[in-house]
Amino acid sequence: MGFLGGFEWLIIILILIFVFGARKIPEMARGIGRGIFEFQKAVKTGKKELDEDENEDEDDDRDDDNQEKR
């Protein structure tokens, strides 16, 4: 078991063309590409929100510490 070689990819592509037809494959590839793009966008947005929440929590903790020292 390992990586797929050139011959294996050729067989997979031929099976895809046989099953789906040459006209459907570009549509499927676009759909997959859009899905990947949306997923990456959601991950990026999620990370940004988490970072913002962390920064807000740290600011709140600092404010609390400053008020306790007074």
Domain boundaries, the chain: 28-70
Phi-psi sector, 21: left (phi>0), alpha (psi -120 to 50), beta: left
User: How much is the pLDDT for 10?
Assistant: 92
Distance CA 4, CA 53 (A): 43
* Residues with Cβ within 8 Å of residue 58, at least 6 apart in sequence: none
Q: What does the pLDDT read at residue 59?
A: 66
Q: What is the pLDDT of residue 20?
A: 86
Structure tokens at 17: 């063309």
Give the tens place of pLDDT for each residue, 19-56: 988 888 889 889 999 999 999 999 999 999 988 888 87
Q: Are 25 and 16 in contact (CB under 8 A)?
A: yes
Residues 1-15 pLDDT 10s: 578 899 998 999 899
